């Protein structure tokens, strides 16, 4: 069977005129730092493919010269060279967004060229949900190993509070490190969270979580600035903001200390969403708490399916009795 024909730009079409605005920069500027890094990689990949290997710099690629035959032939080409369907769809999102910026910057001479090029659809696929759900005993073990660290009380309290806040709110680690002291409203028992696309939401917290935050603030102090900050090995608290990578390393370290199976920071978010749904909180409320734009996204985090299917399997009596 012949390989699908993939359309690339000609050498003449790759020439980028001087002085034109950059749609790549405009698109990446609208994203969070981590999102910008991810999508910059995707756009560089696309530039490499559409230029037939002549450039991998998305900022120097003439996106406005792409037409329907280019974008429409991309999914089949990416599958053919080994990309997974989910990865193809992520690249298509980046492509549509950068084309939209090129259109807004009036780089397309004929607006019909833009509408046709951007009309490429994502591939339909069903993937097995990633990650796992943490048990309540595992969450308690994580907090316990933090508080058992008697040689550095500020560090112990901070890490225990981070774990408590992550689980209580289901927030992303990027959202956690972006919290400021001013985002903590003790009177209303809530945190103001800045999520993807700079969208703000308010998440209510229980008295136990408030107590954990106040215990941490007894070491941090009440100065304005980041809510969760760095601590030296000697226990000195600074007002320097933690990074998302620091949160990852904190959780990894505490997981090993507690002797638990590996998990990702996002698995705590999955656990929160699953536990809320298990507690019969309606999916729209859970979606609002998690900061999802769609309830369908929230449902993909639900790990109850594995548990219920496993329980159903145990209820069936096998005809095989052994020998």
Return the minimum-mean-pLDDT range out of 66-70, 119-123, 238-242, 276-280.
Answer: 276-280
**pLDDT(321) > 60:** no
**Greater pLDDT, 158 or 274:** 158
- Identify the pLDDT of residue 322: 47
Give the number of domains in the chain. Answer: 2
Residue 278 maps to which CATH number?
A: 1.10.443.10
Inside any domain, residue 131: no
Are 190 and 202 a contacting pair, CB within 8 Å?
Answer: yes
Task: Answer yes or no: do 86 and 228 share one domain.
Answer: no
Q: Which residue has the higher pLDDT, 305 or 175?
A: 175
Ramachandran region of residue 59, left (φ > 0), alpha (ψ -120 to 50) or beta?
alpha
pLDDT band for 1, please (50, 70, 90 cuts). very low
pLDDT band at 320 (very low <50, low <70, confident <90, very high): low
Q: Does residue 308 belong to any structural domain of this protein?
A: no
Q: What six digits make up the tokens of 322? A: 């052994």
**Residue 318 falls within a domain, yes or no?**
no
SS3 category, 190: strand
Distance CA 71, CA 190 (A): 45
- Write out the catalytic residue numbers: 172, 196, 266, 269, 292, 301
> Is residue 10, in this structure, part of any structural domain at all?
no
Give the pLDDT score at 305. 60
Q: What is the mean pLDDT of the chain?
A: 87
In 3D space, the residue among 277, 284, 263, 220 whose CA is nearest the CA of residue 132 turns out to be 263
304-315 helix and 265-278 helix, angle to the nearest 10 degrees: 60
Residues 49, 193 within the same domain: no
Q: Is the pLDDT of residue 71 over 70?
A: yes
Q: 3-state class of 192 per DSSP? A: strand
Please tell me the predicted confidence (pLDDT) of residue 159. Answer: 96
48 and 140 fall within a common domain: no
Q: Residue 312 falls within a domain, yes or no?
A: no
Number of residues in the chain? 323
Identify the domain boundary among 90, 117, 144.
Answer: 117
User: Structure tokens of 97?
Assistant: 């967004």
Task: Find the helix or strand (DSSP H, E) in which 201 lies.
Answer: strand 200-204
Please state the pTM of the whole predicted model: 0.60
Report the relative pairing of strands 190-194 and 200-204 from DSSP bridges.
Answer: antiparallel
Q: Is residue 123 one of the residues assigned to a domain? A: no
Helix or strand holding residue 193 (H, E): strand 190-194
Q: What is the pLDDT of residues 85-130, one digit of tens each?
A: 889 999 999 999 999 999 999 999 999 999 999 999 888 865 555 6
Q: Are residues 82 and 197 in the same domain?
A: no
18-37 pLDDT per residue, tens: 899 999 999 999 998 888 99
Residues 162 and 263 both lie in one domain: yes
pLDDT of residue 184: 95
CA distances (Å), 195 to each of 174, 221, 229, 250, 309, in order? 8, 25, 19, 21, 33
Q: Does residue 158 sit in the same domain as residue 272?
A: yes
Give the Cα-Cα-Cα angle 230, 234, 236 (nearest 5 degrees).
45
pLDDT range class, residue 158, cuts 50, 70, 90? very high
Does 54 share its domain with 158?
A: no
> Under a CB-based contact definition with an 8 Å cutoff, are residues 5 and 73 in contact?
yes
Q: Which domain holds residue 35?
A: 23-117
């Amino acid at each position: 069977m012949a390989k699908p024909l993939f359309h690339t730009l000609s050498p003449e079409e790759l020439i980028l005129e001087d002085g034109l605005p950059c749609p790549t920069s405009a698109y990446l500027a609208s994203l969070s730092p981590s999102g910008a890094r991810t999508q910059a990689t995707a756009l560089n990949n696309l530039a490499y493919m559409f230029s037939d290997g002549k450039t991998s710099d998305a900022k120097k690629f003439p996106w406005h010269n792409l037409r329907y035959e280019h974008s429409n032939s991309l999914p089949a080409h990416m599958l053919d060279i080994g990309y997974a369907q989910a990865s193809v769809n992520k690249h298509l999102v980046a492509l549509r967004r950068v084309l939209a910026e090129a259109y807004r910057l009036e780089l397309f001479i004929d607006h019909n060229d833009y509408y046709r090029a951007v009309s490429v659809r994502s591939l339909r696929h069903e993937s097995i949900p990633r990650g796992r759900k943490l048990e309540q005993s595992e969450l308690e073990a994580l907090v316990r190993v933090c508080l058992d660290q008697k040689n550095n009380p500020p560090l112990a309290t901070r890490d225990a509070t981070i774990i408590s806040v992550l689980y209580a709110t289901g927030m992303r680690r990027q959202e956690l490190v972006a919290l400021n002291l001013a985002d903590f409203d003790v009177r209303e028992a809530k945190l103001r969270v800045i999520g993807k696309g700079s969208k703000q939401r308010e998440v209510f917290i229980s008295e136990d979580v408030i107590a954990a935050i106040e215990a941490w603030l007894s070491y941090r102090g009440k100065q304005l600035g980041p809510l969760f900050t760095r601590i030296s090995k000697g226990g000195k608290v600074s007002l320097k903001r933690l990074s998302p990578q620091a949160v990852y390393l904190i959780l990894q370290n505490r997981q090993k200390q507690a002797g638990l199976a590996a998990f990702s920071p996002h698995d705590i978010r999955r656990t929160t969403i699953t536990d809320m749904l298990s507690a019969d909180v309606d999916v729209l409320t859970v979606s609002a708490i998690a900061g999802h734009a769609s309830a369908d996204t929230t449902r993909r985090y639900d790990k109850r399916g594995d548990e219920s299917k496993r329980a159903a399997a145990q209820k069936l009596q096998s005809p095989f009795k052994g020998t």
